Amino acid sequence: MPAGPIKHVQYTITTQEYLTHSHYPALAGRGRIHFVVRHKLCGNLHCANHKMAAGAAQEVPNISASCSYPRTVIVAGAMMMGSGMKLWPGGPTPGALYSFPGERTTAGDGPVRHTLNPMVTGTSVLGVKFDGGVIIAADMLGSYGSLARFRNISRLMKVNSCTMLGASGDYADYQYLKQVIDQMVIDEELLGDGHSYSPKAVHSWLTRVMYNRRSKMNPLWNTVVIGGLYEGESFLGYVDKLGVAYEAPTIATGFGAYLAQPLMREVVENKPSLTKDEARQLVDRCMKVLYYRDARSYNRYEIATVTESGVEIEGPISSETNWEIAHLIKGFE
């Protein structure tokens, strides 16, 4: 077979004529050829395999027996590729499967996998319910492995006037999710029916998306925190890359699940209904602890708050730190 594609050619002939190498000079001696023949008048398609030997004129296959207009046909040349003849670019060879761009369909190739080694990642996202709203926070560092590579990226987004979310994990996957959600919100607003996505709706949609991608062995490598206030009810939900989801009064992802979650739960268990200021102080304290104890965190973060007046994102914010006792901490080198 030739290494590259042969130019697609098309000739109008009659069924009594001979197909010679002047019609398909580049196909001479190439072996069996698959012809796609369309009758010019009836429009029917006919296919036939035909052996073309070098140096000899070959008769057109007899394909007109079932056609009421047998006189004139169009013989369309096949696409000859290095891996075999294809009827059109990206199409199947005779008896083979389609070759979808970017997908593997050959048996034995295994599943297509993408984000199994995240490149630029973000660490913890914190969320706390309070009386009349929700507050979430995330730092602005994108780590390239252990390198603090990007130090001014936002991992919080406003979905609409009653919903917000923050994401840890692969930043590229978060950007993809953000684009999809932004377009969903635009499409919903264009309907003009007075409805918008509630926090529970966004949370439910994310559970389906995450589980679907996980089932395809191509997960979105993120853990997402969704917060919102809808019809006077606060909502705080969690979805991870496997589709695992739950609601809770306090949520922390990443290292925050080990370092910040105990601090938040202690406060909420002692006082279930926090004020906005108390929730803000709790989140600020936890972000400072994470900066001290989590090597992938950063002392620049954003805070998003949703109340009856809407969603507000503040930042960048930095905490005042004190490293005077740092030399006393040993055993973690």
Active-site amino acid positions: 115
Instruction: Provide the 3-class DSSP secondary structure of residue 59.
Output: strand
Residues belonging to the chain: 333
End-to-end Cα distance, the chain: 62
What CA–CA distance (Å, rounded) separates 181 from 198?
Answer: 13
What CA–CA distance (Å, rounded) separates 234 from 229?
Answer: 5
DSSP label of 124: -
Q: What is the CA radius of gyration of the chain?
A: 31
Q: Is 178 in contact with 206 (CB distance < 8 Å)?
A: no
Q: Is 92 in contact with 99 (CB distance < 8 Å)?
A: yes
CA 124 centroid distance within chain: 21
